[in-house]
A and B are shown apart, each in its own frame.
Chain A
C-alpha cells in the first residue's frame, strides 16, 4: 500500500465544503494557485479565509469571484503592485466581513491550537482599534506572580482550528513528507487544521528522513491527508527555492482587477486555460 494518498487537484477541491474555514498561506509561503483556480471553477460559496498572516492574489481572486463571506487577516494586498482591488471594493460595498487582525495574533491563535490550549496571550495590541473591535479577544490582568509584571493588562486570543488547509510545495518524498524548507508557518497552519492537502511540483523517490539536513526541512506525512501533482502550481506567485513570481502576470492582474468588468474578463480567460 502507498504510504500516502495521491489525489488530483480536483479531488482536493472536493474536500473543501462550502462555508468551511480555509487556511491561506502568505505569498512567500507556497500559494496553491492551481487549486484556487479549480476552487473558483467549482463555484464554491461562503468560504471563511484565515490568512497567516496575509493574502495577495489568491484571496483577492476568491473574493472577486464571490467565493468568500468572511476573512481574518493582517492584510490583503498585491504588495508592490498596489491595493487588492476586489478586496477593497468588497469592504467598501459591505459585502465581505473582515476580521481585522495583526500578524502575531494570527500566529498565536493557531499556536494555541497546536498546543491544544484554549487561548494564547500576546503583548502589544492593547489600545489599538483592532483590539477594540475584536469582541472575541479579551484582556486580563497578568495572574502570575513569578513572570511578567504582576497585574499588567495582557491580551488573550482564542485558539482557532482550521477546517482545511491547502498549500503548494516544491516536493514530496516517496513517503509523503513535504519539503517546506524554512517556511515553518506552513507547519503551524497544518498542525492547526483538521485536514491538510498539498499540491507539489514533483514526488521524488527518496526518503527525506534518511538525512538529518533534509528531515529538518519537512512537514511530516502524518499531518497530510492527500497530495496532488501540480506543475507550476503556485503560478503566478513565487515558490521559494523553486521559481520566482511572474511579476508581469501579477501586474496584469492588478490592472485588470481595478474594475469588476476587468476582473471578470481576466478570470474568464484564466479559467478557460
Chain B
C-alpha cells in the first residue's frame, strides 16, 4: 500500500539521500528538516552496520561537543564535518547566500536574523547543502542584496569547502563550482522545467538525465515516523507537532 507522503517528508528523504557517504553531519540553527534528515541517515546507516555521527546544535542529546559553542566552528575548520546545511533569505545563481535582509545594507527594507556561522562554515565544510523551502523569484534571485557568505572565492583564498546542492520545495540543483552555476537535477511532483524556470530569477543549466524526486519507500517512512519524529520533538517541538503530531 502506498502511504500518503507529506511534503516535508519528501524533502527530508531527498536530503537523507545526500548524506549516505558521510561520517559526520552537523545541523545548525532553525533547521528541522535537515535535522530530521541527518537523524534518518544515521538510523539507516546503523541498519547497514555503518556509523554516521550527527551533531545537532540546538539539542543537548544529539550534540557531540563539550567545548562550548565555538567547537562546531573549530571542528569544521579541522575538516571533521563532512556536511552542513545553510539557508538564506535570498540565494543567487552564483550560490551567494543572504541571511541578513533585503534592501541596501545597512538601510534595509526588511531585516532578517543575521548570518550565523555561515561565513566560516561555507568555506570549510566540503559538502554544504543549501536548503530553502520557498522557491520563488524573491528567494532565488539574480544577485543577493547582501552576501553573508560567498558561493565561490578567489583561488588564493583558503577554501576546502563550499556549496554542493540546493534543495527547495520544487527542485534539487547541483552546484558546479567551475561554471559558477546551478544544474537542475530533480523536480518535485507536478513541477516541470518550465514552472521551475519561471519561478527562478537566476539562470541555471538543466541536467540531461533530469528526473522526478522519488518518494521515500514504506520502510523509510516507517523509520521516519516511528523513530525519528520523537527525536526531532526534543529540539524542534513545534515542527514535530505540526508534521507528526508528536
Which chain A residues have a beta carbon within 8 Å of chain B's beta carbons?
26, 28-29, 52-54, 73-77, 79-81, 83-84, 87-88, 91-92, 94, 98, 100-105, 107, 111, 122-131, 133, 148-149, 151-153, 182-188, 240-241, 247
Contact with A along B33-71 (1 / 0, CB 8 A): 000000000000000000000000110100001111111
Q: Which residue of A lies closest to B112 (CB)?
A: A83
Q: Name the 10 nearest CB pairs between A and B, nearest first.
A: A184-B68, A75-B114, A77-B113, A124-B123, A124-B120, A103-B117, A102-B119, A185-B68, A104-B73, A107-B70
User: In the bound complex, how far is the Cα of B108 from the Cα of A94, in angstroms?
Assistant: 9
State whether A126 touches B157 (Cβ < 8 A): yes
Min CB–CB distance A194 → chain B (angstroms): 21
User: In the bound complex, how far is the Cα of B30 from the Cα of A81, in angstroms?
Assistant: 10
State which of B5-13, B17-25, B143-151, B195-203 sits at the interface with chain A: B143-151
- Chain A residues whose C-beta falls within 8 Å of the C-beta of B32 in the assembled complex: 80
State whether B29 touches A129 (Cβ < 8 A): no
Q: Which residue of A lies closest to B122 (CB)?
A: A124
- Chain A residues whose C-beta falls within 8 Å of the C-beta of B114 in the assembled complex: 54, 73-77, 100-101
Min CB–CB distance B157 → chain A (angstroms): 6
- Chain A residues whose C-beta falls within 8 Å of the C-beta of B106 in the assembled complex: 91, 98, 133
State whether B66 touches A103 (Cβ < 8 A): no
- Chain B residues whose C-beta falls within 8 Å of the C-beta of A186 in the assembled complex: 68
Q: Which residue of B lies closest to A247 (CB)?
A: B237
State whether B147 touches A107 (Cβ < 8 A): no
State whether A153 touches B149 (Cβ < 8 A): no
Cβ-neighbour of B236 out of A29, A80, A92, A103 (below 8 A): A80
Cβ-neighbour of B60 out of A53, A102, A240 (below 8 A): A240
Cβ-neighbour of A152 out of B119, B150, B157 (below 8 A): B157
Cβ-neighbour of A52 out of B69, B108, B115, B119 (below 8 A): B69
State whether A26 touches B69 (Cβ < 8 A): yes
Q: Contacts A29-B69, A91-B101, A103-B73 given: A74-B120 contact, CB under 8 Å?
A: no
- Chain A residues whose C-beta falls within 8 Å of the C-beta of B57 in the assembled complex: 28
- Chain A residues whose C-beta falls within 8 Å of the C-beta of B121 in the assembled complex: 124
- Chain A residues whose C-beta falls within 8 Å of the C-beta of B69 in the assembled complex: 26, 28-29, 52-53, 103, 107, 185
State whether B68 touches A54 (Cβ < 8 A): no
The yes or no answer to B188 lying at the interface (CB within 8 A) is no
Cβ-neighbour of B147 out of A83, A94, A129, A182 (below 8 A): A129
Known: A123-B123, A129-B146. 5 other contacts (CB 8 A): A80-B237, A80-B239, A92-B109, A103-B120, A129-B148
Min CB–CB distance A96 → chain B (angstroms): 10
Interface size on B (CB < 8 Å)?
A: 54
State whether B108 touches A79 (Cβ < 8 A): no
State whether A152 touches B156 (Cβ < 8 A): yes
7 CB contacts below 8 A, A to B, read A26-B69, A75-B29, A77-B114, A103-B116, A127-B157, A184-B71, A185-B70
Give the interface SS of chain B, mostly helix, strand, loop or mixed. loop
User: In the bound complex, how far is the Cα of B116 from the Cα of A75, in angstroms?
Assistant: 6
Cβ-neighbour of B30 out of A76, A77, A149, A188 (below 8 A): A77
- Chain B residues whose C-beta falls within 8 Å of the C-beta of A104 in the assembled complex: 70, 73, 77, 117, 119-120
Cβ-neighbour of A247 out of B109, B156, B238 (below 8 A): B238
State whether B157 touches A133 (Cβ < 8 A): no
State whether B113 touches A76 (Cβ < 8 A): yes
The yes or no answer to B215 lying at the interface (CB within 8 A) is no
User: In the bound complex, how far is the Cα of B148 from the Cα of A103, in angstroms?
Assistant: 12
Q: Which residue of B lies closest to A88 (CB)?
A: B111
- Chain A residues whose C-beta falls within 8 Å of the C-beta of B149 in the assembled complex: 124, 128
- Chain B residues whose C-beta falls within 8 Å of the C-beta of A103 in the assembled complex: 69-70, 72-73, 116-117, 120
Q: Contacts A102-B120, A184-B67 given: A126-B105 contact, CB under 8 Å?
A: no
State whether B116 touches A128 (Cβ < 8 A): no
Min CB–CB distance A64 → chain B (angstroms): 14
Min CB–CB distance B126 → chain A (angstroms): 14
Min CB–CB distance A202 → chain B (angstroms): 20
User: In the bound complex, how far is the Cα of B147 from the Cα of A124, in angstroms?
Assistant: 13
Q: Which residue of A lies closest to B152 (CB)?
A: A127
- Chain B residues whose C-beta falls within 8 Å of the C-beta of A148 in the assembled complex: 158
State whether A124 touches B119 (Cβ < 8 A): yes
The yes or no answer to B110 lying at the interface (CB within 8 A) is yes
User: In the bound complex, how far is the Cα of B89 from the Cα of A256, in angstroms?
Assistant: 24
State whether B123 touches A94 (Cβ < 8 A): no
CB interface residues, B 91-145, toward A, < 8 Å: 99-101, 105-124
Q: Contacts A123-B124, A128-B150 given: A88-B158 contact, CB under 8 Å?
A: no
